[in-house]
Amino acid sequence: MSRVAAIDCGTNSIRLLVADVTEAFDGQKELRDLHREMRIVRLGKGVDATGRLDPEALERTRVALVDYAVAARRKGAERIRMVATSATRDASNREDFFAMVRDTLGVEAEIISGDEEARLSFVGAVGDLDPDDGPFVVTDVGGGSTEVVVGELRDGAAVVTAAKSVDMGSVRLTERCLPSDPPSDAEIDSARAVAAEVLAEAFASVPVETATTWVGVAGTITSLSGIAQELPAYDREQVHGSTLTREDLHRVADLLIRSSRSEREKHGSLHPGRVDVIGAGALVVQALADELHARAGIDRVVVSEHDILDGIARSIA
């Protein structure tokens, strides 16, 4: 058994997982959570426009990492891996980020490629699923990027057959196309056009036609599940493993895309840090749902709380 700490630093949030990892009889690694935590730090705020990480965003991230380092030590983590994704890949001052992480956490942050981000998301998402339900298509709609991955479980191991990461997520799309509150029809049309154009790159590279089960991971899809279920507060147990039909997704997405921020705040299960960008994220999920239906006949998504964070933990066990 290994006790590990995994940190995923994305465009919108930074998350920590401390877990025990054991190897099952079939060779598959199993995780037992000891501590999970998520904070909205919006590290990627403005990066799409300026090409730089904002000093205030760096400070918010540093404060979170100070607490994460304490939590990892307190839980007795033997190894720690921190992965940074879309926002830091694109920032001209990313050396400031590296230095801050070294000083705060005592390890180097790894800026991974979009393909590696996609692979880790897939490994985390399907690790505890039934292999007979595959092949799987896993989608991860983040703040700065979206990943589409196809693969399966073979002999207890997650095998990726194709993956693509594209530079579009809830924060980028909000900043680029949806500045108004609520967004205008023209802004929504523009956002849909951008989403369709960028996602076309992913679908051109990943043969989703081979997949039979769609698994959605990360904060956008889990938020949609909480709202669809009308949860009074976010409940991880209720969200994990829930299923949303394409009809459910369109209904909830249309509601969020056209709502004002004050109207979105009324959803008790929606994290306050996602209120201003959830409309754009929902629009991306809606586009994914339509493409997967058209290309693979898939009409529902299995929502998973297991994602890149779990993949990072499995990678260092």
Rounded Cα gap, residues 277 and 286, in angstroms: 15
Specify whether the CB–CB gap between 170 and 277 falls below 8 A.
Answer: yes
Q: Are 196 and 217 in contact (CB under 8 A)?
A: no
Backbone φ and ψ of 224, nearest 5°: -60, -40
Q: Are residues 156 and 221 in the same domain?
A: yes
CA dist., res. 141 & res. 148, Å (int)? 9
- In the predicted model, is pLDDT for residue 150 greater than 60? yes
- Domain end point (choices 88, 114, 140): 114
Condensed to tens digits (0 to 9), the pLDDT of residues 112-132 reads 887 888 889 898 899 778 899
Q: Which residues span the domain enclosing 276?
A: 129-308
> Do 303 and 163 lie in a common domain?
yes
Q: What is the pLDDT of residue 26?
A: 56
Longest dimension (CA), the chain: 55
Looking at the fold, whether 75 and 158 belong to one and the same domain comes out as no
89 part of a folded domain? yes
Tally the C-alpha atoms within 13 A of residue 288's C-alpha that lie toward its C-beta.
32
- pLDDT at site 157: 79
If asked whether residues 211 and 264 sit together in one domain, one would say yes
In a domain, 317, yes or no: no
In this structure, what token pair is assigned to residue 252?
């909830």
Q: Does 94 share its domain with 148?
A: no
In terms of Cα–Cα distance, which of 118, 89, 39 is closest to 308?
Answer: 118
Clarify whether residues 99 and 139 are in a common domain: no
Cα separation, 75 vs 68, whole angstroms: 11
13 and 90 housed in the same domain? yes
Is there a domain that residue 251 lies in? yes
**What mean pLDDT comes out for the span 149-171?**
89
> Looking at residue 299, which CATH number applies to its domain?
3.30.420.150
Query: What is the SS3 assignment for 213?
Result: strand
Q: Using 50, 70 and 90 to split pLDDT, how confident is the model at 269?
A: very high
Q: Which amino acid is at 23?
A: E
Contact present, 168 and 145 (Cβ < 8 Å): yes
Q: Would you state the pLDDT for residue 153?
A: 87
- Tell me if 103 is assigned to some domain: yes
pLDDT single digits (tens) 216-225: 999 999 999 9
Strand pairing partners for 162?
A: 150
Backbone angles phi, psi at 256, to 5 degrees: -75, -40
- 63 and 38 belong to one structural domain: yes
Question: Among 266, 179, 199, 260, which residue's Cα sits nearest to residue 231?
Answer: 266
Instruction: Please check whether residues 188 and 239 belong to one and the same domain.
Output: yes
Q: What is the pLDDT of residues 1-53, one digit of tens each?
A: 799 999 999 888 999 999 998 876 555 678 899 999 999 999 988 888 888 99
Residue type, 106: G
Q: Per the domain annotation, does 120 fall within a domain?
A: no
How many Å apart are CA 207 and CA 134, to the nearest integer?
14
- Specify whether 155 is located in the same domain as 31: no
Do 11 and 92 reside in the same domain of the chain? yes
Residue 307 pLDDT exceeds 60: yes
- Mean of per-residue pLDDT scores for the chain: 92
Please state the domain count of the chain: 2
**Residue matched to tokens 């990360």:** 218
260, pLDDT greater than 80: yes
Position 255 scores a pLDDT of: 94
Residues 8 and 99 in one domain: yes
- Of 114, 148, 176, the position where a domain reaches its end is 114
**Residue 142 domain flag:** yes
Closest C-alpha to 252, from 281, 282, 275, 272: 282
Is there a domain that residue 124 lies in? no
Which of the two residues, 167 and 155, has the higher pLDDT score?
167
Lowest mean pLDDT among 7-16, 85-94, 175-184: 85-94
The answer as to whether 313 is a domain residue is no
Question: So what's the pLDDT on residue 304?
Answer: 94
CATH code, domain carrying 7: 3.30.420.40
Give yes or no for a contact between 171 and 45, defined as CB atoms under 8 angstroms apart.
yes
At 38 the pLDDT is: 93
Final residue belonging to a domain, choices 87, 114, 141: 114
Is the pLDDT at 199 greater than 90? The verdict is: yes
